[in-house]
Amino acid sequence: MTKLTQAHGNWVAGEDRFWDREHEIDLFIQSLDEGANLHIVAQRRIGKTSLMREVSRRIEDRYICLHVDLQTAQTAEDLIVELSVATHPHKSLWHKTREVFSNIFGQAVGSIESLEIDEVTVKIRDGLLGGNWQAKGNRLLAALATSEKPIVIFMDEVPILVNRMLKGADYQMTPERVEATDQFMSWLRKNSLAHQGKICFVVTGSIGFEPILRQARLSATINHFEPFEIEPWDAETAMGCLQALANNYGVTFEEGAPERVTERLNSCIPHHVQMFFSHIYKMSKKRGDMACRVEDVDEVYEKYMLSSKGHAELSTFEVRLKMMVGDEMLPFILDLLTEAALAGRLSAKALAFYRTEHDLDGSEGRDKTREVIDILEHDGYLRQRPEGYVFVSFLLRDWWKRRFGFGFSIASEREG
């Protein structure tokens, strides 16, 4: 009887917490063994970071795995800093990093080793100010490539870094920003090709990489990365996860209850499946009745899954959209999603209506509209159907209704 521990935190790994994905893991490791550089393509909360951590755990006897989180990174220099610091736990790599930045530390090895990691970070960052980050980055990667074991560099939130480099705090792409981003992506391409077989790069993020680069006409700069797509769980896998969790926490699913969970979600994103179970478990414990019926699933969905209190993480969808399109286009994209949520679809007629409403009728407006639709499709908000664009996730659709639906009139009502 399979048991599974509930997931807490930003990522999970290990046999008692990481569920399924065996096929994806095998393909992932095979690609790394063949020397591929990978670009993970998936919706938010699909488990990209968890997959990287689990792959890292399984190959750590053959590879040195470095994890670089660029969530707060603003510049290319920040990437060099974070990569340098990521070598610190690995004695052989840290020695190589020290040699690259010997002019920065300027002290005996013993003194360097006594520094706290925050102090190391500050020193490397200060040493890069006003310097040539490309040259330092080239030296660092060349040094790492001499490692006895091949290295995999997992870089999370690269799209966020690139988006900030392109648009700045004012969400405006300028020729200077596009040029700087092009230089960064070209540098990454050059090094990923130069060290093939010694270093594999894996990039991913919580916003779509390709739509960002397309906006700046830089799509070709990621062609050397092999797309690695991760789909939501199918219903059978999601129900297997629910049952494994139930086995561990004493919950009894009555007939039709697991199926009802997958019906309410429609898109079985792993984080949402586990969050659903967490609410079922807490409600069952509170009631003193560990049996979960279909009506209990519906109650949990309406009362907890869609709750504004328990659903701060869904609010990040709005934040990520603003990050992608900026203040100018955000009202347009919010209108499109609210229309799709309330009307059940975003029809061609409704899309044309909102384009006119937001003064996007000209050729430039059509281009901006296409960029918006690309983002919504790529990042898993909407999917095109014969009747129009519809929400992929019923959870996100129903939450969107509650968040933005009050007082909103759909296009057919406004036109009428």
Segments making up each domain of the chain, as ranges: 22-229, 235-305, 314-415
Q: Under 8 Å CB-to-CB from 30, ≥6 apart: which residues?
A: none
Amino acid, res. 280 = I
Q: Domain 235-305, what architecture? A: Orthogonal Bundle (1.10)
CA distance 386 to 60: 47
Q: What angle do CA 392, 342, 388 make, to 5 degrees?
A: 55
Give the residue-averaged pLDDT of 326-333: 88
197 pLDDT exceeds 50? Answer: yes
352: its two tokens: 């044309």
**Cα first-last separation, the chain:** 58
Residue 99: the pLDDT is 85
Q: Pick the residue with more confidence: 197 or 111? A: 197
Taking only the tens place, the pLDDT of each residue in 142-164 is 999 999 999 999 999 898 999 99
Tokens 């690259």 correspond to what residue? Answer: 100
Tokens 């200077």 correspond to what residue? Answer: 176
Q: Pick the residue with more confidence: 46 or 264? A: 264
Rounded to the nearest integer, the mean pLDDT of the chain is 86
18 pLDDT exceeds 60? Answer: no
pTM score, whole prediction:
0.83
Taking only the tens place, the pLDDT of each residue in 381-396 is 999 999 999 999 999 9
CB 208 within 8 A of CB 378: yes
Quickly name the fold that domain 22-229 has: Rossmann fold (3.40.50)
Taking only the tens place, the pLDDT of each residue in 210-233 is 888 888 889 888 888 998 988 899
Residue 378: the pLDDT is 85
Q: Under 8 Å CB-to-CB from 303, ≥6 apart: which residues?
A: none
CA distance 245 to 281: 9
Residue 191: the pLDDT is 94
